[in-house]
Amino acid sequence: MKISKLVGERTKEVPSGVIAKSHEYLLRAGYIKQVCNGVFSLLPPAFRVQLKLEKIIREEMDKIGGQEVLLPVLMPKELWEESGRYSSIGSEMFRLKDRAEHDMVLGMTHEEAAVHLARNTIKSYDQLPFMIYQIQTKLRDEPRARAGLIRVREFIMKDAYSFHTSKEDLDEYYEKVKDAYFRIYKRMGMKNVVSVKSDSGMMGGKIADEFMLITDIGEDSLVVCDNCDYSANMEVAESILDIYDSIEQPTELVNTGDSKTIEDVCKLLNVKPYQTCKAVCYYLSKSKKYVIAFIRGDLEVNEIKLRNLLKEEVVAISVDHPKIVAGYIGPKNFKEEDIITLYDVSLKNAKNLVVGANAKPYHIKNFSFNRDFIPETFVDISKVKEGQKCKKCGKGNLKIVRGIEIGNIFQLGTKYTASMNMTVHDSKGEEINPIMGCYGIGVGRCLASIVEESSDEKGIIWPISVAPWQIYLCPLRLDDENVAKTTLEINNILEEAGYEILFDDRNISAGSKFADSELMGIPIRIVISPRSLQNNEIEIAIRKTGEKIMCSKGELLKTLKSIVDNLG
RNA sequence: CUGGGUGUGGCGCAGUUUGGUAGCGCGCUUGAAUGGGGUUCAAGAGGUCGGAAGUUCAAAUCUUCUCACUCAGACCA
């Protein structure tokens, strides 16, 4: 490819409003161009990378028995009504009408289509298990697209769906996919990838893992143990909650005046936040109920855990309920129709707490949950804090890091096969609903994530396995006869050896060429100039290390091979 | 959806407070010099200032409406 003909331009200036490194470099190096909010065109270099990513994914999916298919982007409303998601998913799904006024949707995920494809073609347990996958466009009307290719409204995703006769079989396959995913990320050149337990969100099902590239610009908070392999998304992470043991003291009603917040009360009564119990109020707009969540004063409520527990959207509010004394709420079963009371596990066996007295302006001192009030159950609704002890190993300290979700896997169970009535005959001749798993990888997001992880102040540094071109052929003074002749020769030698070459055929200054090759992130640059030809030498520059190696024309292929082997 | 910001040649920006029909850098074209880190000089092309309505003798600049983009949050696979 001649760079003079390459579509796209490279710029020195940083576009405004750009935070993510991958966003900046992909724009500046001429890889992507924004069409509207959250929608991008890929220019030739980016598309070449994308094809390489897809190739890696295909190979690994095929290795675990995947069969590639192509499901439609456009689907009728009816298909989504079968699963119930036509109504349960909100405005993040693109909806439209066809010319006959028929309601249609644009696919944001393809469980429905996968079941539709399989349910009339698979009839016997003999045909199970199987996995189908596709690499295709997904459309999601994101509330907020951001950071270039990291969060967009239209993107290419590899999504796979597996069908099994038993939970055990799914479990086994699930682990296989997990291994395949780690191989995929490794081959793509990503290093800092972990899998974490996660919330299954709109997909349904219980077991879910997300694959995260750990990086500061990540949108998700992850909890990882510094001692064992525990890792989880903040949404579902758990920790050991220290019990601060002490001897129970008699309760005491104290006038706390205007002190309502934990901070004020602590100051007034000279106690630490963990020696208090706070009440956080929520409202369920669907069922029109108030929720009072009691939790130890030093902790925060994890609203996603709360939502999953109540199976409904929760909204934090300041209460205006006649039975609730805002600022002085204490542990108590509110036996009102429209109030739900919850107690976090952090309160279990907690003693000598300062709690609200449910009367203004009083709090109660030395309140103990195993003496003064014993709730029916305690629930886990707290947010993990940095430094808490790991629940899995009991020793490690939990750290909170940020990550980009570059893939996820779910055990769906029979949510879709049951609702959409997909059955097969088992070995006893009985009809069963196959158990499903689904597995996604955002290809465009991987592309951006690789850049996020692998770049420097000069630009992108592509891993050689996914680079758009392996070699940047960079003659200086192409008007020099000897340079022109040698460049052509070398181009042919490299092409014959199977290398992909970006040929900088422009007659511009050396600095501009070097800068472009570095911004674009091409792993190897071969410089041919009058200066080096005087010694019958060619320069090979390695993007990643900045190293420069001189060699003769005859040694070129041999030298290159050892460099490439080293980079791979 | 809530709050803030921005919209001026292909890209990045100044000009808006104090109305007088556009300017800079990069890039592009032509010529010359230079020739290993975005080189220099000269000459050019290219915009009617997001859109609509209004005020005015006169609007990029003031008013109203509107659209788009963007940041933070809410939300999200």
Protein residue closest to B25, using CA and C1': A13
CA-to-C1' span, A19 to B54 (A)? 39
Pull the structure tokens for residue A552.
């003769």
pLDDT at A463 (0 to 100) = 97
Q: For residue A225, what are the β-bridge partners? A: A398
Identify the burial level of A103 via C-beta atoms within 10 angstroms of its C-beta, where 0-12 means exposed, 13-18 middle and 19 or more buried: middle
Pull the structure tokens for residue A478.
């192409």
CA-to-C1' span, A109 to B50 (A)? 35
Protein residue closest to B34, using CA and C1': A509
Q: How far is CA A192 from CA A173, A185, A260, A406, in A?
A: 24, 9, 44, 12
CA-CA distance, A222 to A241, in Å (whole number)? 18
Protein residue closest to B28, using CA and C1': A9
**Helix, strand, coil % in chain A, rounded to nearest 5:** 30, 30, 40
Q: Which nucleotide is nearest to A459 (CA to C1')?
A: B38
In words, the CATH class of domain A469-567 is alpha beta
CA-to-C1' span, A525 to B28 (A)? 27
Q: Where in chain A is the domain with CATH 3.90.960.10?
A: 252-367
CA-to-C1' span, A530 to B34 (A)? 15
CA-to-C1' span, A145 to B19 (A)? 39
Q: What SS3 class is residue A80?
A: helix
pLDDT at A327 (0 to 100) = 76
CA A1 vs. chain centroid, Å, equals 34
Q: Which nucleotide is nearest to A17 (CA to C1')?
A: B70
Q: Which nucleotide is nearest to A19 (CA to C1')?
A: B71
Alpha helices in A20-135 (DSSP H): 21-28, 44-63, 77-83, 85-88, 111-119
pLDDT at A204 (0 to 100) = 53
Q: Where in chain A is the domain with CATH 3.30.930.10?
A: 3-238+400-452
CA-to-C1' span, A17 to B64 (A)? 29
Q: Which nucleotide is nearest to A198 (CA to C1')?
A: B77
CA-CA distance, A460 to A534, in Å (whole number)? 32
Q: Which nucleotide is nearest to A199 (CA to C1')?
A: B77
Protein residue closest to B39, using CA and C1': A509
CA-to-C1' span, A150 to B36 (A)? 37
CA-to-C1' span, A90 to B44 (A)? 56
Identify the burial level of A268 via C-beta atoms within 10 angstroms of its C-beta, where 0-12 means exposed, 13-18 middle and 19 or more buried: middle
CA-CA distance, A139 to A156, in Å (whole number)? 9
Q: Which nucleotide is nearest to A546 (CA to C1')?
A: B37
DSSP A370-431: TTT---S--B--BPP-TTPBPTTTSSSBEEEEEEEEEEEEEEEETHHHHHTT--EE-TTS-E
Q: Which nucleotide is nearest to A477 (CA to C1')?
A: B35
Closest by CA position to A499, among listed A455, A529, A464: A464
Pull the structure tokens for residue A460.
């992108």
pLDDT at A241 (0 to 100) = 78
Q: Which nucleotide is nearest to A219 (CA to C1')?
A: B76
CB crowding A345-369: b at 16 or more within 10 Å, else e: bbbbebbbbbbbbbeeebbbbbbbb
Protein residue closest to B11, using CA and C1': A11
Largest CA distance in chain A: 98
**DSSP assigned state of A298:** T
CA-to-C1' span, A515 to B46 (A)? 27
CATH architecture of the domain A252-367 equals: Alpha-Beta Complex (3.90)
Protein residue closest to B75, using CA and C1': A143
* pTM given for the model: 0.86
- Show Cβ contacts of residue A339 under 8 Å, excluding neighbours closer than 6 positions: A289, A290, A291, A292, A321, A323, A324
Q: What SS3 class is residue A560?
A: helix
Task: Map tokens 């949510």 to a residue.
Answer: A415
List protein-proximal bases of chain B (any atom < 7 A from a CB). Answer: 1, 5, 10-13, 25-27, 34-39, 68-77
Pull the structure tokens for residue A304.
């996603």
ipTM associated with this complex: 0.92
E strands of A29-183, at which residues? 32-36, 39-42, 66-68, 74-76, 95-97, 103-106, 130-139, 154-164
Task: Map tokens 């320069």 to a residue.
Answer: A539
Determine contact, residues A400/A221, Cβ cutoff 8 Å.
yes
Protein residue closest to B36, using CA and C1': A510
Q: What is the CATH number of domain A3-238+400-452?
A: 3.30.930.10
CA-to-C1' span, A512 to B37 (A)? 7
Q: Where in chain A is the domain with CATH 3.40.50.800?
A: 469-567
CA-to-C1' span, A36 to B50 (A)? 14
CA-to-C1' span, A26 to B46 (A)? 27
CA-to-C1' span, A271 to B30 (A)? 80
Q: Which nucleotide is nearest to A410 (CA to C1')?
A: B77
Residues with pLDDT less than 50, chain A: none
Q: Which nucleotide is nearest to A141 (CA to C1')?
A: B76
CA-CA distance, A292 to A279, in Å (whole number)? 6
A44 prior amide bond cis, ω within 30: no
